[in-house]
Amino acid sequence: MELVPMKEILDRANEEGYAVGGFNINNMEFLQAIVEASQEYNSPLILQTSEGAIKYIGIDYVIGMVQAAVKNIDIPVALHLDHGGSFEKVMECIRKGYSSVMIDGSKYPFEENVKLTSKVVEAAHSVGVTVEAELGKLGGNEDDVSVDEREAKFTNPEEAEEFVERTGVDALAVAIGTAHGVYKGDPELDFKRLKLINDRVDIPLVLHGASGVPEKDVKHAVSLGINKVNVNTDFQQAFTSKIRELFKKDSELYDPRKYCGPGRDAIREAVKGKIEFLGSKGKG
Ligand code: G3H
Ligand code: ZN
């Protein structure tokens, strides 16, 4: 199956009131586990790579592996750039075959974010590629980017409405209390704010930093307009915990297939759990 624009996947989720996972891949095992679980559960899938993952894997390897992974499956799959930091990076990914990109202008003041996002939307839409943008700023750590909690800024609903109108973006990532990486305390989501944003904005909303957020809170967010839920850290932890456990049992282990294989199985099970509670099972 060919890659599809993320808009196709998210617009249906928005109409029917469920969410699709934006699942990050870090290596081949992540990709295989995520694709296998999605195919088994007949769920649409958004595969995404951060700039850090692209740097680690190599963009040509990403494209080659993803093409091999989707060749013989029949669920819709989008390949998405997660947290694209510049116009140039976004263009590189589009040229290489990504069907969706995120331009993350959340580090800029509102007007600059509007300007950069609009420029990306114009270029991406001309070749049928979907665009996600971010307004407000999430705290936490992702790859080499660390945002102090005091710097994090919740999304303003009025600004969200203006931002979507002026940029023509397809999906909007909102900051409502989640953070990237591992939570220190319990995350507290601002559902009131999410509802206000959803009342003003028609396009699908995206929840970043969903690892470690209790299932009931994610479900509540989905009921209030979230249609894409980003997960990376939970799968990294599933993979690494399994490998740690195996090395604890046998510190002489040296064949990577003997620990990466079980690590991959652990990710597959974790992905299935997410698909179930996001509501995308059977929607492929
Ligand atoms: O963009 C990716 C996600 O927001 C990752 O969030 O660190 O909670 O898995 P996470
Ligand atoms: Zn994110």
| Ligand closest to the CA atom of residue 24 | 1
Q: Tell me the backbone φ, ψ of residue 241, rounded to 5 degrees.
A: -60, -40
pTM of the model: 0.96
Catalytic residue (one of 11, 60, 82, 170): 82
**Residue of 230, 234, 236, 271 with the most ligand 1 atoms within 8 Å of its CB, for mutation:** 230
How many Cα neighbours within 13 Å face the side chain of 123?
A: 19
Domains present along the chain, CATH in parentheses: 6-278 (3.20.20.70)
Beta-carbon contacts of 102 under 8 Å, excluding residues fewer than 6 positions away, are 48, 80, 81, 82, 83, 84, 131, 132, 133, 134, 173
Q: Is the CB of 49 under 6 A from ligand 1?
A: no
Per-residue burial over 221-237, b if 16 or more Cβ lie within 10 Å, else e, is bbbbbbbbbbbbbbbbb
Q: How far apart are CA 140 and CA 166, in angstroms?
A: 28
User: Which ligand 1 atom lies nearest to the CA of residue 232?
Assistant: 9
Per-residue pLDDT of the chain (284 residues; tens, 9 = 90+): 789 999 999 999 999 999 999 999 999 999 999 999 999 999 999 999 999 999 999 999 999 999 999 999 999 999 999 999 999 999 999 999 999 999 999 999 999 999 999 999 999 999 999 999 999 988 787 776 777 766 679 999 999 999 999 999 999 999 999 999 999 888 999 999 999 999 999 999 999 999 999 999 999 999 999 999 999 999 999 999 999 999 999 999 999 999 999 999 999 999 999 999 999 999 99
Instruction: Give distance in angstroms: CA of 230 to centre of ligand 1.
Output: 5
Tally of residues, the chain: 284
Least distant ligand from the CA of 48: 1
pLDDT at position 16 is 98
Which amino acid is located at 222 in the chain? V
DSSP SS3 for 114:
helix
Q: What phi and psi values does residue 133 have, to the nearest 5 degrees?
A: -130, 175
Ligand 2 centre to CA of 259 (Å) is: 28
Helices (H), 202-232: 215-223
Alpha helix segments (H runs only) across 18-86: 28-40, 51-57, 59-70
What is the pLDDT at residue 142?
Answer: 75
Q: Rounded to 5 degrees, what are φ and ψ at 262? A: -60, -35
Specify whether 217 is catalytic. no
Predicted confidence at residue 147, as pLDDT, reads 73
Name the residue among 100, 135, 97, 99 with its Cα closest to residue 117: 135
Whether ligand 1 lies within 6 angstroms of the CB of 230 is answered as: yes
134 lines ligand 1 (CB under 6 A): no
| Protein residue closest via CA to atom 10 of ligand 1 | 209
